Amino acid sequence: MASVRCLFRDTAINNRYRNSIRAGIILAKKESLNMQDTIFITGGAGFIGANFVRYIFRHTNLRIVVLDKLTYAGHKVSVADVLKSSRVIFARTDIVEAKAVRRLFQRYRPVFVANLAAESHVDRSIDSPGDFIETNIVGTYVLLEQAYQFYQTLPEARRKTFRFLHVSTDEVYGTLGRTGLFKETTPYQPNSPYSASKASADHLVRAYYETYKLPCLITNCSNNYGPYQFPEKLIPLALLNAAEAKPVPIYGDGLNIRDWLYVEDHCAGLWLALRKGKLGEKYNIGGRNERTNLQVIHALLGALEKALPAKRNPAMIRAKKKSYLELKTFVRDRPGHDRRYAIGADKIRRELGWKPKHDFESGIRRTVEWYLASRRWCRQVQKGHGRARLGLKTARRR
């Protein structure tokens, strides 16, 4: 497949967004923490992980060790700018490799561990569930076990500050009807290999807290969107396809509902939970931005039209298309497609004081601007990877 070029020359949008990134890294108020304190961020070259690395870099003086296997969705380029700092260390590591993980614990002696390493695309889990079992279940077990063995070696004072945060998903709860919200007490009812693997990992984390008293917390988030998301997920895939005048696929009738959370708001919630959350507890993190997939596509294409009018886009001109809406293409639904997710985030709001700063419209606008300004990143991460639809092997067998 020809790599995505994003088709956009540097504009005021590029400069404005890049300047805001620089300002964020330089000017953000940092929390006063021990300079020797270290945080492990697994999956730190992936979508949420890379954003969390940046958030911790901007807001703390912690030493950051990024652990990432660098699969198709994890790219060192996503954290290349912060890796220039001596505070940030990159370790290409598969968390299922116990010896490698143990060496990192012994060498860097973290006070915080944030586990964001995961295979996360539902469609891929339909085609290749084994990868999800390996990373999401076995990998979480290995990380927990190595964290526990390390924790046992700590003096009492350091034990009191050690914390392990496991980042999970709302998909473990299953699907909702037309009303209601997922709460932390909602029973698990996963419907895909992906969500089943994450549910299993959540149970392991709880077990390590209850059985071994490893200081653990769990967060379950709604759908994230924003910078550095690999273009297989709905929003970046639709955006880049539309920018190239290619079909924008919409599953089924387009009325499946998700609760959308801008990734920077999620990162703020993760850090708050990691520092101030009650050990052994779960915290749901959601944006209260319920949208059907059709509404998401319409909002996205509307924001794209404002940033890059179709009449000025060479790809649209060549395709003889006057509106991005003409690119909408309904395709066969994927197997086991949950109808509605919606997170109830009252607990983290009430107990920890978290609330999102971005509404859906402002988040989408920032996301579109970032992708249009980041054509080099688009090319680099998609090299050798297509955007072909996954999850059809099972559909054909049904």
Bridge partner residues of 225 (DSSP): 262
119 is catalytic: no
Positive/negative CA dihedral, 293, 297, 302, 303: positive
**Dist. CA 338–CA 192, nearest whole Å:** 9
Report the alpha-carbon angle 167-172-176, nearest 5: 130
**Among the options 123, 170, 202, 264, which is catalytic?**
170
171, 184, 202, 265: the active-site residue: 171
Tokens 């709860």 -> residue: 173
Do 132 and 194 touch, CB atoms closer than 8 A? yes
Let me know if 333 is a catalytic residue.
no
Centre a 10 Å sphere on the Cβ of residue 9 and count the other Cβ atoms it contains. Answer: 7
Q: Which residues of 302-341 are buried (b: 16+ CB within 10 A; e: fewer)?
A: bbbbebbebeebebbeeeebeebebbbeeeeebbbebebb
Q: How far apart are CA 339 and CA 288, in angstroms?
A: 17
Question: Which one is catalytic: 141, 151, 173, 194?
Answer: 194
Is 171 designated active site? yes
Phi, psi of 252 (to 5 degrees): 55, -130
How many whole angstroms separate alpha carbon 237 and alpha carbon 250? 11
Residues known to be catalytic:
170-171, 194
